[in-house]
Structure 1
Amino acid sequence: MTRLAKMVGTSWRWLVGENGSARQILHHGFLVSAVLIGLFSAVFNYLMELTVPAYSVALAVISLMVMVMWYRSRFHGEFSRMSWLFCTLVTFVMLPGNWVFNHGASGPTLLFYLMAAAYVLGVLPPDRLRRGVIISGLMLMPWILLWGEMANPQLVSSYASTAMRSLDMGVSYTLAFGLLSLVIAGYAKRIREERDLARAYATKLERLSRLDSLTGLYNHRTIHEHAEHHLSGRDISCLLICDLDHFKQINDAHGHPYGDQVLAHFSMHIQTLSREYSGKAGRYGGEEFMILLPGNLAVAREFDRQLRESCEASPLAHGVIRFSTGVSERRHPDTLSSWVQRSDEALYHAKASGRDQLIVDHDISMV
């Protein structure tokens, strides 16, 4: 029994296309169900003599047409076109025909109109004109059919007996219940799909809100948060502030777009090296960058040396990117303000002492 259920589940997933969107899966499932229900109804109506034999033949032919629609949608990527054609066929051909040949208002057609409406609202592509035509048809067609039956009762067939009507309504209810279950499952999958998409967008927005749009490094607020985290720990760490040398002249000589390219290029070097050192890097403002490194001043000096070598190895149009660095090691009484200030003062001395060098805060001496 378990093996049979597994085979049925596998077959169903193949029929509806488990890798498609929720709308596509609902559409394919509804088409497959429409084919099965159409063929079953053709046989059922013929055996029970509920309608004329020609209607059973018409049901079988329409079921084959729907099977072709399923095939085109499932394997040829024609979901939008086939959903529109199927909705048109159901609204203006299949259900009106079912009304006429399956006992009008006394039969189950209104029930199937409701199922069709549930399907259409969840699947039909958001084309205003097409949606308007189909939804208007679903709203107005039953009224037209009711009026036509009232004006000309002889246009619709009648049940041979109350027992036959009860049997037809019972079977139709069961089929409609199956369709409704399928539609609800499709809506549930679509809700989950849209929820997951919303979560993915929220995660992406959260990540983007923490990054500088030009360089891809952490922005000012986020790098400060990481610095606060370093201050709350007990491990040794260093804070480096790097400032590009003569950046204004680069902008003036080559233009601001080129200046942005320089910032992005330098940020790439910082990002790559920071990851190797398990550090955090951010754009502190303008052409200034803040790097947080676990480890002592020797680690910070080695980081600075490798960063300069990396820049030397990949010069730009104006030449090698030169920069000055101020660094300080965290002290236990430090606040964020005092820690940043010591690195900033060291940077100021590096700039005042000729640039293109690293200065440590505790002795304000060139390294």
Structure 2
Amino acid sequence: MIEKTRSWLLGSKDNPQQYIQHAVQLIVSVAFLYAAAINYVTGASGHLNISIQLAMSVGTLGVWYRSRWHNDYQRMAVTFMVMITTITLPINWFLNGGSYGPTFFLNICVFMYITVAFRNNPPYRYFGQFFSVFVPIPLVIIEYCFPELISPYTDNETRLIDLASTSVVTSIFMLLMMENQTKKFLLRQSKVEQLSEQLRQLSEQDALTGLLNRRSFVNSFVEWKETKEYFTIAAVDIDFFKQVNDQWGHQYGDEVLIKASTLLAEISKENNALAFRTGGEEFMLMMPYSLNEAYQHIQILHDRFAEMKLLNGPVTFSSGLAEVKQDESQDQFLKRVDRLLYQAKNQGRNRTVVE
């Protein structure tokens, strides 16, 4: 219930800029309403002061309403900034004790708000910062020259209550600004992580088939060699693939590659293995098994290839299968498994040669 109410009032947290903007507008509106109520109850101010505070409360609420419910965020943000820098702060100065009141503290909050809210809009940011910095100067001069224009506090107790209330509002405001910046940072970090993960996947995946690519094979080979007691790799090559491309076209050839990759991905998923596309019609299947166990799974793959549903009939593959030795390099292993693959081709294809 609380979350729904907060969402209704402030909007989505996924847009921290607008979320905090609406929160600040509501706080300012409530603060003016609270000040008017206190002044009315205590008799600390006259009817003119109370009327102005009520008008500021209603005006700020109207800005919030236009921004929140009429998708007029940008224009209302500028309107709100102009209102607080050129109207709210001067009025607060004259009606709340001048230099003895809380306006200086509020001015610091306004400066911080403008800096954060208009971070991506320099012209408006500079305008607001200029006014929030320099408006107090003429106000001090006016107070010095015409002290009768300042509405003094009726007693010191009223002044302390006003300062304490302002301190609470200021603290809440600071927390909102911190939450805004934290939320922005977390959103940016999340986007960076998502983009980083997408780039990582793109750098490690084959674009056509979705299998891992040669770069990933190189990295996985090193990782498995460091972490596995033993593992076996099959070098898989689709038979007569060039003729398939020449006879049926490259689009059909791509379909063959995708179907073959799907079968390799299924086998790898079933056996905690990894499947890679390392060349045109060349694949690698890395399995955490001994040579005999791996051979059984390759035979299953042969059977599934024979059942492949393709427009011009199934295709076959030749394979070389070898267990990786701990004392050999990746290049040495690849030369060894390639020799086995060529033996399979020379022996008539559609078979696996084991070392």
TM-score class normalised by the smaller sequence: 0.7 to 0.9
Offset at residue 104 of structure 1 (A): 4.9
Among 309, 313, 317, the alignment partner of 1:323 is: 317
Contact 1:238 1:300 in 2 (8 A): yes
SS at structure 1 position matched to 2:278: strand
Offset at residue 196 of structure 1 (A): 4.2
**Distance verdict in 2 for CA 1:78–1:359, change over 3 Å:** same
- Per-residue CA shift, 1:228-266, capped at 9, x if unaligned? 444446655321111233434445566656655543443
| Unmatched tracts of structure 1, length 5 or more | 1-6, 363-367
Matching of residue 109 in structure 1 with residue 103 in structure 2: yes
Among 153, 156, 178, the alignment partner of 1:184 is: 178
Contact 1:50 1:102 in 2 (8 A): no
Aligned residue in 2 for 1:216: 210
Offset at residue 165 of structure 1 (A): 5.3
Aligned residue in 1 for 2:80: 86
Contact 1:325 1:359 in 2 (8 A): yes
Aligned residue in 2 for 1:140: 131
TM-score, normalization by structure 1: 0.75
Q: Which amino acid aligns with 2:176?
A: L
Aligned 1:192-341 pairs, distance under 5 A: 192-232=186-226, 237-252=231-246, 259-316=253-310, 319-331=313-325, 334-341=328-335
Matching of residue 59 in structure 1 with residue 53 in structure 2: yes
Aligned residue in 1 for 2:29: 35
SS at structure 2 position matched to 1:181: helix
Contact 1:315 1:321 in 2 (8 A): no
Aligned residue in 2 for 1:159: 152
TM-score, normalization by structure 2: 0.77
Aligned residue in 2 for 1:359: 352
Q: Which amino acid aligns with 2:35?
A: S
| Unmatched tracts of structure 2, length 5 or more | none
% of aligned pairs identical? Answer: 26
CA RMSD of aligned residues (A): 4.0
Contact 2:234 2:286 in 1 (8 A): yes
- Per-residue CA shift, 1:241-294, capped at 9, x if unaligned? 112334344455666566555434432321122101211111223331111113
Supply the distance in 1 between the matched residues of 2:227 and 2:140 (Cα, whole angstroms): 82
- Per-residue CA shift, 1:319-350, capped at 9, x if unaligned? 53443222123456554334332221111122
- Per-residue CA shift, 1:25-60, capped at 9, x if unaligned? 433432332232121122234445555423322322
Q: Which amino acid aligns with 1:275?
A: K
Contact 1:210 1:222 in 2 (8 A): yes
Contact 2:228 2:288 in 1 (8 A): no
**Distance verdict in 2 for CA 1:86–1:337, change over 3 Å:** same
SS at structure 1 position matched to 2:24: helix
Supply the distance in 2 between the matched residues of 1:72 and 1:158 (Cα, whole angstroms): 33
SS at structure 2 position matched to 1:324: strand
Q: Which amino acid aligns with 2:138?
A: W
